[in-house]
Amino acid sequence: TVSPELKAHVVGLPKRVTQISARPVIRLKEILNTADQIFDHAGKFAACARGCGHCCHVSVPITQLEARYMGENLGITPVELKQSIKHELTEFGSHTPCPFLKNGECSIYAFRPLTCRMHMNFDEDNYWCLHENWQRPEAEIPRPTIQPLIDAYHVTISSVAPIMADIRDFFPNGKVES
């Protein structure tokens, strides 16, 4: 079960971010930190395991705000998009690894997008994560909807006229290894 303190922290997130008068990136950090707190607690109930990486081949929609935040922290410049880019989910599969997936693991884990932080499989195993099962009509990965995170994210990005695209559009080459 979730502690009353964590539950109150999560439920209060949308209001809290509206009261942060700093740059939108500071609001984003609060959202990402809250997501980490939730999934640090919930992770022990997930079928996800280090090195799996199946979810790192699906669409990873992020905003330009998130791309800039990631770029600043990673020391790389994201592509500056002029408009949002919408992709069909069927464009993604085993042939579309995230540019930051290295040896089956996320090379930017501390700065990964909110989408990645919220994408956990709460089934008993990773069956639905396997690429060959994605297109099955009954495919549905059990995971919670954390509405306060989504609401807080929408409040934050609405203040910056968001451009949204896939992580691969902003970072087509990923991070250059040194």
Q: Residue 76: what are its φ and ψ, rounded to 5°?
A: -130, 150
Confidence of residue 176 (pLDDT cuts 50, 70, 90): very low
- pLDDT confidence tier of residue 64, bands split at 50, 70 and 90: very high
Work out the mean pLDDT of the chain and round it to a whole number. 85
Listed by start position, the domains of the chain span 4-168
pLDDT value, residue 145: 64
For residues 134 and 87, give the distance between their C-alpha atoms in angstroms, rounded to a whole number. Answer: 16
pLDDT band at 124 (very low <50, low <70, confident <90, very high): confident
Give mean pLDDT, residues 65-69: 95
Bridge partners of residue 105, in order along the sequence: 102
pLDDT at position 177 over 60: no
pLDDT at 91: 87
Mean pLDDT of 143-162: 84
**What residue ranges in the chain does DSSP mark as E strands?**
61-63, 101-102, 105-106, 164-166
| Mean pLDDT, residues 59-85 | 95
Q: Report helix, strand and coil shares of the chain as percent, to nearest 5.
A: 45, 5, 45
